[in-house]
A and B are shown apart, each in its own frame.
Chain A
Amino acid sequence: MIADKGSTRLETKEGWRNFRPEIKDELCVRCNICWVYCPDLAIYTEQGDFTARGKKYVLAYRVDYRYCKGCGICANECPVKAIEMVRE
């Protein structure tokens, strides 16, 4: 029995990556898609005041690099190509 729910959080996965996603906040239209499709719960939202493409937003998408395995699904699905996969 494992009583510690969600304890895989203690095992980070940054060593799995060859590429890391970099979200270009100034290009992001806050469509939510990268957050929806991440298999590793490595994309989260940060509250605040942001401006991108001339519009104001109350949140921005960030990558939790502890858990990102660098699969690139976020970059592939981003409709405005705001995510770039950069070699580690």
Chain B
Amino acid sequence: MRMYTEERAPSKRNFVKDVLALTSNHAVAYAVRSLDVDVIASYPITPQTTIVEKLAEFVANGELDAEFVNVESEHSALSVVLGASATGARTFTATSSQGFLLMHEVLHNVSGLRLPVVMAVPSRAVSAPISIHGDYSDLMTGKDVGWIVFICASAQEVYDTVLQLYAVAEDERVCLPAIVAYDGFLMSHTMERVEVYRDDLILEFAPKRVKRLLDPANPVTLGELALPEHYYRYKYSQLSALDGSREVIRSVFKSFYSYFGIEYDFVERFKTEDADFIIVVYGGASWGNAVEAVNITREKGLKTGALRIRVLRPFPIKEVVDTLKNVKGFSVVDRAISFGASTPGPVYADVVVSLAEYGLSIPSVCVIAGIGQKVMYVSDFVRVLEELVKGKEGVILL
């Protein structure tokens, strides 16, 4: 398992302010504090609540000078943040599951208005039946609405990603909102070693560039009505901005490396260079299992590898195709279900289509696992790889 922090370039060590034991949720809060966020909207929902609780503490202690708005629903949470962002404030909110679903129309609105809002979504299953436990069902209902989406696998990565997302979202070539997602409970509430950086460097790496659109000195009308001869142009422009954000993300990764010495990419690879069979995952628990499963099957003489998708939107087509193009078989482990779709695995669909765009059709298996935080055993992932080797295709519901 790649320990990013151990790889941090030695020359960057002195940029680390402190080493803390933080849950992914608290890692988000620490990052938001250092970024000098101006307006935060807070509404409780498991498993996100400890993010806003920590931020409330920071604000109450004077460690963060921000307007902390305790709203009356998630629909209002994202709306408050929308209004603040349009007025030039750097903003943040967090939610999960039902809350993420409740703010759905506002998700489209924020992206359509091109506001650089950043939101944390520790992902959780959706009702009915009600489940407070983790899976990625919530996130998947909102991945195609014009937001940049990153999925992390460790608390350090979550902390680093929040910093990066502000740099990407506020870039004037992007001006799109962004989500950092990660495993509900398995990561949100699990303490890990996190290195936090010097505040001055963080603000140098991600300076505030939120445009003041609502300005009495320069009045404009936002949220206008667009008739058929105009509406499509806005949407094509959003599409183009999201596609174009790949370049900005790449340059932010470079900049992050130069500031803090960790190299990030759109994907993470484990022993994929010579692999015949690859298991593709997202999120922390799946990644941990996948890496273990690769180690175990390699010991049995199988040439296996694991690929983790970090940037879900814009989907890293090139990186995924480059990694998978020569394999004999692959599987994608999805922790969400697309009911009634051509395949139940949403990211499996992304991968298959990416390969198809390059004329590649490779035997593959769609795996659904960890739904509602159903325990994902390493042995299950080992079995998936072994099935791949036997030439299995189709769907496996773990």
Q: Which residues of A contact B (CB under 8 A)?
A: 1-3, 5
CA–CA, A3 and B221, complex, Å: 6
Q: Is the interface of A mostly helix, strand, loop or mixed?
A: loop
Across the interface, name the chain A residue whose C-beta is closest to B224: A2
Q: In the complex, which residues of chain B have a beta carbon less than 8 angstroms from the beta carbon of A3?
A: 220-221
Whole-angstrom distance from the CB of B111 to the nearest CB of chain A?
A: 14
Q: What's the least CB distance linking A82 to chain B, in Å?
A: 37
Residues in B whose Cβ lies below 8 Å from that of A2: 220-221, 224
A5 surroundings in chain B (CB, below 8 A): 219-221
A18 to B115, CA, bound (A): 45
Q: Given the complex of chains A and B, what is the CA–CA distance between A2 and B227 in angstroms?
A: 14
Interface residues in B293-334 by Cβ distance below 8 A to A read none
* Additional 11 contacts, C-beta under 8 A, given A1-B213, A5-B220: A1-B220, A1-B221, A1-B222, A1-B224, A2-B220, A2-B221, A2-B224, A3-B220, A3-B221, A5-B219, A5-B221
A11 to chain B, nearest CB (A): 13
Main secondary structure of the interface of B (DSSP, over half): loop
Shortest beta-carbon distance from B215 to chain A in Å: 11
Q: Which residue of B lies closest to A2 (CB)?
A: B221
B220 cross-chain contacts in A, Cβ below 8 A: 1-3, 5
Chain A positions within 8 Å of B213 at CB level: 1
13 residue pairs A–B, Cβ–Cβ below 8 Å = A1-B213, A1-B220, A1-B221, A1-B222, A1-B224, A2-B220, A2-B221, A2-B224, A3-B220, A3-B221, A5-B219, A5-B220, A5-B221
A1 cross-chain contacts in B, Cβ below 8 A = 213, 220-222, 224
For B219, list chain A residues within 8 Å (CB): 5
Closest B residue to A3 by beta carbon equals: B220
How far, in angstroms, from A68 to B220 measured CA to CA in the complex? 26
Closest Cβ–Cβ distance, residue B85 to chain A (whole Å)? 14
Q: Which residues of A contact B222 (CB under 8 A)?
A: 1
A87 to chain B, nearest CB (A): 32
Q: How far is the CB of B142 from chain A (nearest CB, A)?
A: 24
Closest Cβ–Cβ distance, residue A10 to chain B (whole Å)? 14
Interface centre among A1, A2, A3 (most CB of B within 10 A): A1
Interface string of B197-231 (1 = CB under 8 A from A): 00000000000000001000001111010000000
How far is it, in angstroms, between the C-alpha of A1 and the C-alpha of B224 when the chains are bound? 7
Neighbouring A residues of B224 by C-beta, 8 Å: 1-2
Q: For the complex, what is the distance from the CA of A3 to the CA of B217, rounded to whole Å?
A: 12
Cβ of A58 to closest chain B Cβ, rounded Å: 32
Instruction: Give chain B interface residues in 362-386, CB to chain A under 8 Å.
Output: none
Q: In whole angstroms, what is the CA distance A86 to B224 when docked?
A: 36
A1 to B213, CA, bound (A): 9
In the complex, what residue of chain A is closest to B222 when comparing beta carbons?
A1
- B219, B221, B222, B224 — most chain A CB neighbours (10 Å): B221
Query: Which of B220, B222, B224 gathers most chain A CB within 10 Å?
Result: B220
B152-195 interface with A by 8 A CB criterion: none
A84 to chain B, nearest CB (A): 37
Tell me, rounded to whole Å, the shortest Cβ–Cβ distance linking A13 to chain B: 18
Shortest distance in angstroms between B228's beta carbon and chain A's nearest beta carbon?
17
CA distance A1 to B221 in the complex (A): 6
Bound-complex Cα distance A47 to B137 (A):
68
B222 to chain A, nearest CB (A): 6
Shortest distance from the beta carbon of A52 to any chain B beta carbon, whole Å: 39
Distance from A4 Cβ to chain B, minimum over Cβ atoms (Å): 9
A3 to B222, CA, bound (A): 9
Name which residue of chain B comes closest to A6, CB basis.
B219
CA distance A45 to B382 in the complex (A): 85
Residue of chain A at shortest CB distance from B221:
A2
